[in-house]
Chain A
């Protein structure tokens, strides 16, 4: 057996499994080692694309497949591989039919338990987060109205709405969302806000026909997804309400 054969077969399977979601057909043409990384050549209908995975992550995956399958560690590595695929192909508009927002929501990895970090966002990301927070606020409002009309409890939703409101107020007072010692709960809400924004962009993309606009939309979505794959968001688990949000949208 050649070096890292199991890991490379696993990656091939992950890519070809995308066919159940995609409108186009994706297939792996070749995987070869090129100094320090593995290059995976894929065809998506008539388009060719290359994905690159560093040797270190493939080494890790090979060990994890043998010793840690079904562990959080394995999930974490698999998540890293999957999102490399989603982001690389997604920004080229090659994953028609796959919404990265759903993948982010269903992501499985070793989540951080407790966390306090200093956060500072670039203006573009701040705008994304602020607009996402506004969107979450509207969503909670509509949920509360629905619960009221049905005469059922909505205290949890009210609590979430207030939390979002406090973040919106913070931005309105400071014109930024930067802060020191930020805890997990705030990060969960901010991560949800970014996902809300991705969902909004994906909805627009669904009905968009103009190639230039589609390209820009794909790049914007990928850009936000890349931010969510970094500290402080990467290891922050999304709150339960995100599933309400997906169900509603």
Chain B
């Protein structure tokens, strides 16, 4: 069976995420996503964000979709991840996971990347105002991805993203 952890903000792009879940199911790939009814499976005593991190670690494929928003902050128990968005913490976790077969697929909206290209050359990166259409924590995530040499696919629109997904080779468990 092929399984993929879907890491993306949800409320701002709910339709897209639901469409991607359907697309992956059509490709016979089981999606591990926090909105799936069995995701938390009645687990108690563990912060929900740490359950996300645990699921990232145990799933062989990691799919990241980056748009304009960063989403909520990570509030779990791993101190190294404090100050990051939850999506960023999931990315770090995927990267740090020791699984040999792990595949990471990172997709970034082209316009977001264009903002990043401008931002990274700014003399004062912390001084961005509300006219910026990308949340600062998204830029931090992209910086981390670039620093660590992660391969990024860019998409101009959601149709392109879905087409890209169709040709990716996800690994089996």
Contacts and interface: CB of A to CB of B under 8 A. Distances in A.
Interface of A: 33, 35-37, 54-57, 59-60, 63-64, 68, 73, 76-77, 80, 112-118, 120-122, 229-232, 234-235
B135 interface: yes
Nearest to A76: B19
Contacts of A234: 15, 18-19, 22
A191 to B, nearest CB: 13
Contacts, number: 79
A120 B33 CA distance: 14
A231 B18 contact: yes
B133 interface: yes
A54 B159 contact: no
B133 A35 contact: yes
Interface string B138-173: 000000000000000000111100000000000000
> What 6 pairs between A and B have smallest CB-CB spacing?
A120-B37, A80-B15, A235-B22, A231-B21, A54-B12, A60-B157
Contact of B18 (A35, A120, A230): A230
Given A57-B16, A115-B26, A116-B28, A73 B159 contact: yes
Nearest to A77: B158
Interface string B21-53: 110011010100001111000000000000000
A118 B69 CA distance: 29
A229 B133 contact: no
Given A35-B133, A118-B30, A231 B38 contact: no
Interface of B: 12-16, 18-19, 21-22, 25-26, 28, 30, 35-38, 67-69, 109, 111, 130, 132-133, 135, 156-159
Contacts of A80: 15
A112 B16 contact: no
Contacts of B36: 120
B26 A56 contact: no
Nearest to B159: A73
A56 B67 contact: yes
A36 B11 CA distance: 12
A159 B58 CA distance: 43
A229 B15 contact: yes
6 contacts: A35-B133, A57-B16, A80-B15, A114-B26, A122-B37, A234-B15
Nearest to B134: A36
A54 B19 contact: no
Contact of A36 (B12, B38, B159): B12
A157 to B, nearest CB: 29
B158 A60 contact: yes
B68 to A, nearest CB: 5
Contacts of A35: 130, 132-133
A37 B67 CA distance: 12
A55 B68 contact: yes
Given A35-B132, A120-B36, 18 more contacts: A36-B12, A36-B135, A54-B68, A55-B133, A56-B13, A57-B13, A59-B109, A73-B159, A77-B158, A80-B15, A113-B26, A117-B25, A118-B30, A121-B37, A229-B14, A231-B25, A234-B19, A235-B19
A119 to B, nearest CB: 8
Given A36-B133, A55-B133, A56-B67, A231 B22 contact: yes
Contacts of B30: 118
Contacts of B68: 36, 54-56
